[in-house]
Amino acid sequence: MDIQTDELFSLGLAIIMGLLAGKLAYRLKIPRVTGYLLMGLLIGPHLTGLIPEHVVKNLDVINDIALGLILFAIGNEFEWSLLKRIGIWNLIRLAAFESTGVMVLVSGGFLLLGYDLVLSLLIGSIAVATAPAATLLVVREYHSKGPLTDRLLALVAINNLLAMGLFRVIYSFVHLGNGADPASAMIQPIYEVVVSVVLGIALGKLLGLWEKHLDELPELLLVIIGIVLVGTGIARMLHLPPMLVAMAAGATVANSSYVHRLIYVQQRQLEQPIYIAFFVLAGLSLHLETLLKMGIAGIVYLVARLLGKIGGIWVAGKYSGQPKEVSNFLGITLLCQAGVAIGLSYEVLADYPEIGQMITTIVLATVILNETIGPYLIKLGLTLAKEIQSENKIKAS
C-alpha cells in the first residue's frame, strides 16, 4: 500500500476510533481524553499494530498543528480583565509555591538518589510543566466554571512558561559543564524567550489587523490556522520554542482584538477532529515497556511531583486567602504531563544521549500514568469544587 494512503487511512481510523472511544468514555462517566489516549494505545504499534510505527512518525504534523492551536487557546486565558478579577498576585503566589514545591521535592529526591545538582535541577524544571491539552479538553468537556477553573487554566499557562524558562537557564549550566562557550550558553536562553515573545506578539497583532478587513466571519478560522502554522515554522527556523510563540500570540489576541470572543468561537469549530486526532496519536506513541524501565527514579519523580503540586497549592492557598475549593482541590488538577515535558526531554536526548536517555525514560514512563489518570483527577477536582455543570447540560459529541 502506498505510504500516503497509509497515512490517510491511519488518520481517518484515528479520528473514527477516537470518536467511538470518546462516546464510550462519556457513557462510563470518565473524561473523553482518557478514552482517546487508551484507544490510541490499543490500535497503535505497541499493542494491535493497526497503525504501524512509521506512519505514527509521519503524522507528527497533526500534533504540531493541534498543539499550536491548544497553546494559542491557553494564551487566551491571559486576558487582562480575567487576571485582574482573579488577582495577579494571587496567581503569582500559587505558581511560585506550586513550582517551588515541585522543584524542591523532585530535585531533592534525585539528589538523595545520588544524581548531581545540575541534573537534579534539570529534572525538577521538567517536572513543573503541566499538559495544557488534556487540561483544556477536560474543562471544555464538562463546561466547568468557577474560581478553581479560572485559576487552573491560567496556572497551566504559567506552569509551562516557568518550566521552559527554568529549563533554559539550568540547561545553560549543562552546556557549560560540557565545554560550551560561557557567553553563548548564558545568552541563548534570553534570546529564545525574548524573540519568541516578540514573534508571538507580532503574529497576534497581525491577526488583530486582519480582523478589521474581514469579508466573512469563517475567514477568522483560516487566519488563526495560518498564524499558528507560520509561528511554528518561523520558530523552528530560528531554533525557538514554538509553544511559547503560540501562547504569546494567543495572549496578544485576548488583550488587543475587538472580536476576541468571536475568534474563540471560530476556533472551537475546528477543535473536535483536531483534538481527537491529537490525543489518539499521543496514545499511539505511548511505550508500555518504559513502565518496566522506570525504576526507583521514576517512582521518585512521580510521587515527588504529585506531592509538590498538591502541597504547594495547599500552602499557597492557606497563606494567600484563596477560596477553600482552590486550596483543597486545585493541586490534583495539575498532574497531567505530556507534550512540553517530552519536548524538553528529547532536547536533552539529542544533545547529550547518555543523560538524555535516562531523563526521557523517566518522563515517557510517568506520562503514561499522568495522562491516563490525570484527566480523571481533573474531573474529580472540578466535581469536588462543584464547578462542573449538571449532566443534562453536557452533550455527547
305-to-19, 106, 130, 272, 379 alpha-carbon distances in Å? 32, 6, 11, 30, 19
CA–CA separation, 338 and 282 (whole Å): 9
166 and 125 Cβ atoms separated by less than 8 Å: yes
Neighbours of 256 (CB within 10 A): 15
First to last CA, the chain: 33
- Residue with the larger pLDDT of the pair 223 and 218: 223
| pLDDT confidence of residue 131 | 79
Cell of 50: 493497526
Tell me the mean pLDDT in the region 239-245. Answer: 84
Question: Whole-number mean pLDDT of the chain?
Answer: 80
**What DSSP character marks residue 44?**
S
Q: Which of 100-114, 142-156, 157-171, 309-323 has the highest mean pLDDT?
A: 100-114
Per CATH, which fold does 59-393 belong to? Na+/H+ antiporter like fold (1.20.1530)
What is the rounded distance in angstroms from the CA atom of residue 198 to the CA atom of residue 193? 9
- Name the pTM for this structure: 0.78
Only one residue has cell 503524522, namely 59
Sequence-distant (6+) residues with CB within 8 A of 316 are: 93, 94, 96, 97, 98, 322, 327
When pLDDT is cut at 50, 70 and 90, the band that residue 305 belongs to is very high
**Nearest 5°: phi and psi at 179?**
90, 15
Contact predicate 337/370, CB 8 Å: yes
For range 74-81, the mean pLDDT: 75
CA separation, residue 213 to residues 229, 238, 251, 261 (Å) = 21, 30, 21, 17
**What pLDDT was estimated at residue 1?**
43
Q: How far apart are CA 62 and CA 281, in angstroms?
A: 9
pLDDT band for position 269 (50/70/90)? low
Instruction: Name which residue leads in pLDDT, 25 or 300.
Output: 300
Distance CA 290, CA 364 (A): 7
pLDDT at residue number 258: 62
Q: Note the pLDDT of residue 397.
A: 42
**Three-class SS state of 326:** helix
- pLDDT at position 100: 92
Quick check: 43 pLDDT over 80? Answer: yes
Can you list the positions of beta strands (E) in the chain? Answer: none
